[in-house]
Structure formats: structure tokens, C-alpha cells
Amino acid sequence: VKRIAAEADGQAYDIVIGGSIGQLPQHMARVAPSGTRVGVVADASIAASYGRTLRRGLNRAGFYTRLLVVPSGEGSKTLRQAERLLRSCARAGLDRQSWLVALGGGVIGDLAGFVAATYLRGVSLVQVPTTLLAQVDASIGGKTGVDIPEGKNLVGCFYQPWLVWIDPTVLRTLPKAHWRNGLAEVIKYGAVQDSALFGDLEKGGAALFRGFSARWTRIIACCAAIKARIVEKDPLETQGLRALLNFGHSVGHALEAATGYRRYLHGEAVSIGMYAAAWVSEQMGLLKPVERIRLGTLLSRAGLPIRAPVPVRRSRLMEFLERDKKVKEASVRFVLLERLGRATSGHRVSPVILDRALSACGL
Ligand SMILES: NC(=O)c1ccc[n+]([C@@H]2O[C@H](COP(=O)([O-])OP(=O)(O)OC[C@H]3O[C@@H](n4cnc5c(N)ncnc54)[C@H](O)[C@@H]3O)[C@@H](O)[C@H]2O)c1
Ligand SMILES: [Zn+2]
């Protein structure tokens, strides 16, 4: 079991990697008095399996529990579901000393995190991420929120958890597409921050990417530590450091939006986006061609696309690309690679270079 001491926004908390879901109640019982109320938020497919195990353990440890179930999928990240959960919390008699446990992928983490931040102006939150993406990314950093019809993640707040409890063995049941989704973020951490991690992923071979094995616990811990370290230095995304984690995400988000969030999983779009950003880096003389090729090879080996199989109308892509730049300035700015393991943010990219990179990625 690995423990990472994290701090953000003046709040210290632990990220524990390698403890089982069954061990979490004992851990919580050490700080919370018996009889404390706990709301476990899970989506429909997790509630029946891990939700029941967790609830039984919590009851045995002396907690009073309520399982709060929402439908699976991004469609549940709404104000309507948040209101439903808030009202369930009130009806279950949760008070200021109560806890909310977010058991599931990033959808549940964002939604339950938002509810924990706003119910009674904040109750203690435990993140129990169950997807690879949530374990290495979404559960760490305190970003919570929901979508509105005008756009994804437009409503929310920063709210740090009290604990992040990562049980990597639950990834054994994760559907393959969602596994690959998380692989894109893992490769991203190696590319922007950690050449040793990148090298380990290359050495791991195809078998490493096939699915969960014991080797993954160390890799997940490594990624979680990178995210925690970056968030600690730049908790509210004001210093440009946290922006490094957006590598590949400008083009990725634009591609997801331009295709109505139907054609690509987030990780697939980001994979193409990372490769496009590597092309831009190369064209601007920052990155050696051989390193751009290494990134492409690793992404492909993970089963991720580096070229769009079907082109997207360029004007539509550019419209979303410019909108994604958060209206901060007119020109599109990029996170670019200087080498594998080192990225820098805020690069202005000329339309000619961007055009060439997008074309190289089939866009
Ligand atoms: N807060 C952040 O910093 C942050 C960062 C990245 C992404 N996100 C958000 O995360 C969301 C995406 O999260 P996600 O990819 O985890 O999707 P998700 O939460 O929808 O989970 C994916 C699917 O896998 C199922 N599932 C989860 N764990 C499982 C397991 N162990 N075994 C079997 N099935 C399992 C779920 O029921 C769901 O159907 C997006 O809404 C995104 O905006 C947030
Ligand atoms: Zn991402």
C-alpha cells in the first residue's frame, strides 16, 4: 500500500493506493465516531457490485449508511441529478459531521464532489475512483462539477476531498474501451512530466496495455503523485503549471465537441490531440522527430488512435478549438513538448503550422 500526502488549497489529505475497498471502512472508522452517517454515491452498474460490498463494510464498522444511486454515464452530470442527490442527503438526515463517498468513475467523482461541496456548505468527501481515468486524474485535484446544455463542466467548484482511496484491483472489471480511455492520460503524464514513466511504459510491451495486472499499482501511484504535485503548486490553475495537464486536450476537446461527443471517447480524442501537439512541437523546432514517433508508437500500442479515421470539417473544428481556449485571448495557445518528459505551456502557434499538424492527423 502506498500513501501520498497531498495538500491543496490549505487542506491536507491522503491518497492511498493499493488498499482494497473492503479495507476502507476500517480506515474511516479510525477518524469518524461510530454512528456517523455516510452517503455512498454510485452509478447503477457499480452500486450492485462494489457498492454493496462497501456498504456492508461500513455498516459493520458502525456507520449508518445510505446508498445513493444515479444512472451510469455522462448524462448524469446534471444539476437535476445534483438536486436529486442533495434532497436524498437531506431526507437521509445527513448532517455537517456526515460523509459522502464517491464510488465510481469521473462522472460520479465530479457529481458527488459537487454535492459534497454544496450540501450544508460542505461535508467530508472520500473519493473512491473505479476507472483508470478517475484513479490517475479525475479523483485528484478537487475539481467538481456538472454539465449544462451550453457546455461540459460549466458549473462547479474546487473542493478538496478528505481522502482518495484507490483500489486498483477493481480495474479488472472495467470495460476495455474505458481502460484505453485511461491509458491516454497515463501516457500523457509520461510525455509531459516523467521520462522514466514513459520509458517504463515503452518497456512494458503490449502485455502491459492489455489490461490490469499487479504492475499497474506502481504506475497508477506514479501518475497520482504527478497530478497531486502539480495541483499542490497550482491548485486553482492560475500559474500555468496545471495547464501542462491539458497537453493534447485543446485539439482533443475540439474533436469531441465537433463530433457531438458521440464518435470519440475522451481518451481517443486526446490521443489524436497529443499526436497533433507533438507534430506542432516538431514543426516549431522544439521536439525531435524521433520523439514524436516514439509518442505515436506508444499510443498505437495502447490501442489508441493517432489519426482521425474520418475527417472533420475544419471550420467546425477551429470554431471549437478557439472556444476551448477559454476566451482568454484571440490566438490559440498550446502546451508543447520540448522532449518526452518535458512540456511547456502558452505557446502561440501560427495557422500554417497548426494546419499542417491537423492534416498530418487526418483532421
Ligand atoms: N475532476 C477532474 O479533474 C476530471 C478530470 C478528468 C475527467 N473528469 C470527468 O470524468 C468524467 C469521465 O469519467 P470516466 O471516464 O471515469 O467515466 P464514467 O464515470 O462514466 O465511467 C465509465 C463507465 O465505466 C463503468 N465503471 C466504472 N468503474 C468500473 C469498474 N471498476 N468495473 C466496471 N465498470 C466500471 C461506469 O459505470 C461507467 O459506465 C467526465 O465527466 C470528465 O469531465 C474530471
Ligand atoms: Zn483528459
With the most atoms of ligand 1 within 8 angstroms of its CB, the residue from 108, 110, 265 to mutate is 110
143 is catalytic: yes
Instruction: Please identify which of the residues 66, 185, 256, 268 carries the catalytic annotation.
Output: 185
Distance set, CA 55 to CA 47, 48, 97, 134 (Å):
9, 10, 18, 21
Which parts of the chain sit beneath pLDDT 50? 327
59 is catalytic: no
Residue 327: per-residue pLDDT: 47
Q: State whether the beta carbon of 169 lies less than 6 angstroms from ligand 1.
A: no
Residue 72 and residue 44 in contact, taking contact as beta carbons nearer than 8 Å: yes
Each residue of 42-53: pLDDT tens digit?
A: 999 999 999 999
What's the distance, CA 237 to chain centroid?
15
Considering only CA atoms, which residue is closest to atom 34 of ligand 1? 174
Question: Cα–Cα distance between 34 and 123 in angstroms, integer?
Answer: 17
Considering only CA atoms, which residue is closest to atom 33 of ligand 1? 174
Each residue of 146-175: pLDDT tens digit?
A: 999 988 999 999 999 999 999 999 999 999
329 is catalytic: no
253 is catalytic: yes
With the most atoms of ligand 1 within 8 angstroms of its CB, the residue from 70, 72, 107, 108 to mutate is 107
Instruction: Please identify which of the residues 66, 77, 180, 253 carries the catalytic annotation.
Output: 253
342: its cell numbers: 518535458
pTM value is: 0.96
